[in-house]
Amino acid sequence: MTATEQERRLVRPYGDTTGDGMVQLSFTLPIPHDRVAEGAAAQLAKKMGIDPAMVVHAKPMGPDFTFFVVYGQVNHLVDVDAVQVVERDFPLLSPKEVNLAIREGLRRRLTVVGGCIGTDAHTVGIDAILNIKGFAGEKGLEYYRELRVINLGAQISVPQLVASAKEHAADAILVSQVVTQRDAHLLNTKEMSAAFREAYSDAERPLLIVGGPRFDETMAAELGVDRVFARGTTPGEVASYLVHALVTQRRQAT
Amino acid sequence: MSVQPKLGLDPEAVRRARELARTAGGPIVQLAKRHTTVSVERATLRLAGLAGADPDGTPWVNRLVDAVRGDVDIAHGVALPVWDALLRAEAADLTELATKAGVGSVRFRIPEGDDAKQAEAAATEAIGAGIARIDARRAERERLIETVGDAPRTPWIYLIVATGDIYEDIPQAQAAAREGADVIAVIRSTGQSLLDFVPEGATREGFAGTYATQENFRLMRAALDETSKELGRYIRLTNYASGLCMPEIAALAGLERLDMMLNDSMYGILFRDINPVRTFVDQRFSRQVHARAGIIINTGEDNYLTTADAIEAAHTVTVSQLLNEYFAKEAGLEDWQLGLGHAFEINPDVPDSFRMELAHALLARELFPDAPLKWMPPTRHMTGDVFRGYLLDGFFNLVGALTGQGILLVGMMTEAVVTPWLSDRDLALQNVRYVMNAVGDLHEDFQPAPDGFVARRAADVLGESIDLLERIIAHDDGMLDAIADGTFGLMRRPADGGRGLDGVVRKADDYRNPAVDLLEDGLR
């Protein structure tokens, strides 16, 4: 490695010798297994920057597909300094860490009231986040011992949601909106946030969170909510955010 | 494959555990018998042949049951009011009656005297035709297994497809069968369990799964019948009788000759927050249908271990298996129909984790020697490290081979990474085949030391199961209170909470349901 490479932190993959650039990969091509197929695999590897490429394993999977394992030397360099990482503005916590943070920071359970407002009957989003069954291999918020979850289900009116929030002394409100016809999700959310601002003082108001597949995460201010979650959000992200907003940040503020 | 007893379990403890499960479950059966639900009534109409939906997609069975409920309640059952209306010539058939009921142009009443007798006779004939169709489908399955051939060995290899589009699922399922699957499970769309209606027709859009509908069932069964003939072995089809429409889905499964159904006594309560009474009533009816249809049920004990520690909570699996066995047998299911669930979910970093897995699996095997048992692969401790995951799946397969599991859900090294690729499935099946072939009949040579680690661990788990069952029974209102105060897992589910409670109705003294009568008769 030259001095400049060291300064710029340029690296290559490591097999068993510094700078050997060795990588392994596996993939499937939709062609029958024969010599041509193995050549095709080597060609793909070469186009990926692996040269020389060794097709070390090729196995037919049925008459129409072949599976390959390829080893070889990749001719790319990685500039570590040029790597850009998008930082989440809150740390991702495990369920244990969430529970611990609430127990220590709040000294009581944190209450979440959730539901689908308006005529939206699609509970798939709210259930994925709240039901213990969860989503994407993560358990829902019901799984967290220190979270008290009240799932109101579908077709909840905004006044019902506010009443339920008051009844249960909610720390956070979770609203899911799947139906987006005529921007119903945006209008419903604005109506909801306005109602909460009217019913509560700023200091008392629960955290307002809205989510759904067609929301843009940058719209929170416009919609009057504290946070917007978009497609693919997992329960662990929501739980981590709850801790960040209601435990960590509040403690820092006082 | 039968496995000789190896653990030296105390027969008195085994007897005691079963007796406690019976004591805990008995009052639940009585509770189930005292109530009906909208879904049981809708299933009854489905058995009588009412299918289809209105232009908005609301099934006719929902329209009709809601209309009867509005006029005369369902505490008496919908059968008499519905067939009374047909006998009064309000409509030519059930579909027309449902159409008229939907717009309010029919009035229902509870017939009395001779009118009641005639309505009941007509209802029994129509519903009996549906039960006869289920019987015929069961005979057809037996005939196909006879002529086409059965899975060549146990455990049956169980693979999942789930694209959301039934027309994509079909070629995937056929490919999976050709690759070696004996059982194909079509995962349902997320959230279907909380729909209080069964969607209609062939569906091409789902969330992480495909909707369970009668037409989807029919299409997939027909496709797998073709593949069965091509491969010379009968490919079994699995779906989910769970959630708010469990009885209806069970009926549709029987009518369309599905072969196995996921069907757990408490899963919906604990993991989906469905009302406990609703679940137990719907459960009993659906199990009676499965018993009649010759369907093998798969219970959901693996779920306990995905939410709690697999060592600490091992006994909750055993307790749930004992309760599932009690409820299943009470509903008429036989041992060969009990795919009692358990899973390989112990943290692999724990010392002796494999010995404990072996102990737990053997315990299940020896407690339920004649049940097929459904062996579920690791999910909780699968990470993005696919190489480590592949090894873990190998050990999972080894336990399966060594303990005579009946149904083996094939573990994927890409669990928690992607939905399985073609190559993932191929590698996973190679793993299963290698282990089964390499292990052969090793179980004949494998004899854990008496009072050794494995035998002691199994005895401890059985002991903890007995303690838990005793704690359940010690509650004033038994299981219902235990479910309410969080004795099962982490979830507190009070009997007056949860979804679907408004669909539960206490039966009136004159409740009639020919489907229930015919299914109960089948038990005698």
What is the rounded CA–CA span in Å between residue B23 and residue B341? 22
- The percentage of chain A sitting over the pLDDT mark of 70, rounded to a whole number, equals 92
Chain-centre distance of CA A22, in angstroms? 32
Cα of B233 to nearest chain A Cα, Å: 18
* B166 phi, psi to nearest 5 deg: -60, -30
**Per-residue confidence band for B523, with pLDDT thresholds at 50, 70 and 90:** low
Q: Which helix (H) or strand (E) holds B122?
A: helix B113-148
Q: Where in chain A is the domain with CATH 3.40.50.280?
A: 95-253
Q: Which of B84, B282, B374, B424 is catalytic?
A: B374
Which residues of chain B have a CB within 8 Å of the CB of A142?
A: 273, 490-491
Averaged pLDDT, A222-245: 92
Is the pLDDT score of B1 beyond 50?
no
pLDDT tens digits, one per residue of A96-145: 999 999 999 999 999 999 998 876 667 778 888 998 877 777 889 999 99
CA distances from B206 to A123, B184, B212 (A): 14, 18, 10
Q: Where in chain A is the domain with CATH 3.30.30.60?
A: 3-81
Q: Closest Cα to residue B30, out of B313, B236, B327?
A: B327
For chain A, the average pLDDT equals 89
Averaged pLDDT, B514-522: 90
What is the pLDDT at residue B490?
63
Averaged pLDDT, B40-52: 98
Q: Closest Cα to residue B337, out of B462, B436, B253, B281?
A: B253
Four-point Cα dihedral B120, B123, B128, B133, nearest 10: 180
- The percentage of chain B sitting over the pLDDT mark of 70, rounded to a whole number, equals 98
Contact residues, B window 231-270, toward A, CB-based 8 Å cutoff: 270
Judge contact between A158 and A193, C-beta under 8 A: no
**Per-residue confidence band for A87, with pLDDT thresholds at 50, 70 and 90:** low
Contact residues, B window 410-439, toward A, CB-based 8 Å cutoff: 415-416, 421-423, 426-427
Q: Closest Cα to residue B432, out of B208, B181, B252?
A: B181
> What is the C-alpha R_g of chain A?
26
What is the pLDDT at residue A26?
97
Q: Locate the chain A residue with the closest alpha carbon to B196.
A: A121
Q: Locate the chain A residue with the closest alpha carbon to B267.
A: A133
Per-residue b/e over B489-504, b at no fewer than 16 CB within 10 Å? bebebebeebbbeebb
Which residues of chain A have a CB within 8 Å of the CB of B307?
A: 132, 139, 143
C-beta atoms of A151 and B270 within 8 A: no
Is the pLDDT score of B486 beyond 90?
no
Q: How many Cβ pairs within 8 Å bridge chains A and B?
A: 53
C-beta atoms of A61 and B271 within 8 A: no
What is the pLDDT at residue A2?
53
Disruptive mutation site among A26, A131, A176 for chain B (greatest number of B CBs within 10 Å) = A131
> CB neighbours of B422 closer than 8 A, spacing ≥ 6?
A28, A61, A65, B175
What is the pLDDT at residue B92?
96
- Nearest Cβ partner of B422 from A61, A128, A139? A61
Q: Would you call A133 a catalytic residue per the annotation?
A: yes
pLDDT tens digits, one per residue of A26-48: 999 999 999 999 999 999 999 99
C-beta atoms of B272 and A133 within 8 A: yes
In the 8-state DSSP scheme, what is residue A219?
Answer: G
Which residues of chain B have a CB within 8 Å of the CB of A126?
A: none
Beta bridge partners of B296: B260
C-beta atoms of A127 and B306 within 8 A: no
- The percentage of chain B sitting over the pLDDT mark of 90, rounded to a whole number, equals 86
What is the pLDDT at residue A158?
93
- Is B304 within 8 Å of chain A by CB? no
Disruptive mutation site among B423, B429, B488 for chain A (greatest number of A CBs within 10 Å) = B423
Q: Would you call B302 a catalytic residue per the annotation?
A: yes
Q: Which of B158, B267, B304, B511 is catalytic?
A: B267
- Nearest Cβ partner of B490 from A61, A128, A143? A143
Averaged pLDDT, B314-339: 97
Q: In the structure encoding, which two tokens stand for residue A106, read together? A: 């709040």
- Is A139 within 8 Å of chain B by CB? yes
Contact residues, A window 113-132, toward B, CB-based 8 Å cutoff: 122-124, 127-128, 131-132
- Is A200 within 8 Å of chain B by CB? no
What is the pLDDT at residue B364?
98
pLDDT tens digits, one per residue of B51-79: 999 999 999 999 999 999 999 999 999 99
Per-residue b/e over B346-355, b at no fewer than 16 CB within 10 Å? bebeeeebbe
**Per-residue confidence band for B502, with pLDDT thresholds at 50, 70 and 90:** very high
Is the pLDDT score of A92 beyond 70?
yes
Q: Which range among A63-72, A113-122, B92-101, B440-449 shows the weakest confidence by mean pLDDT?
A: A113-122
pLDDT tens digits, one per residue of B290-321: 999 999 999 999 988 877 789 998 999 999 99
What is the pLDDT at residue A94?
93
C-beta atoms of A67 and B426 within 8 A: yes
**Per-residue confidence band for A253, with pLDDT thresholds at 50, 70 and 90:** low
- The percentage of chain A sitting over the pLDDT mark of 90, rounded to a whole number, equals 67
- Nearest Cβ partner of B423 from A28, A124, A135? A28
B509 CB-contact burial (10 Å; exposed 0-12 / middle 13-18 / buried 19+): exposed
CA distances from A188 to A193, A200, B426 (A): 9, 18, 47
- Is B72 within 8 Å of chain A by CB? no
CATH 3.20.190.10 fits A3-81, yes or no: no
- Nearest Cβ partner of A128 from B190, B270, B303? B190
Q: Would you call B517 a catalytic residue per the annotation?
A: no
**What's the topology of domain A95-253?**
Rossmann fold (3.40.50)
Total Cβ atoms within 10 A of residue A205: 17
Four-point Cα dihedral B48, B54, B58, B60, nearest 10: -20
pLDDT tens digits, one per residue of B247-298: 999 999 999 999 999 999 999 998 888 999 999 999 999 999 999 999 999 9
Which comes out higher in pLDDT, residue A166 or A217?
A166
What is the pLDDT at residue A121?
64
Which comes out higher in pLDDT, residue B23 or A5?
B23
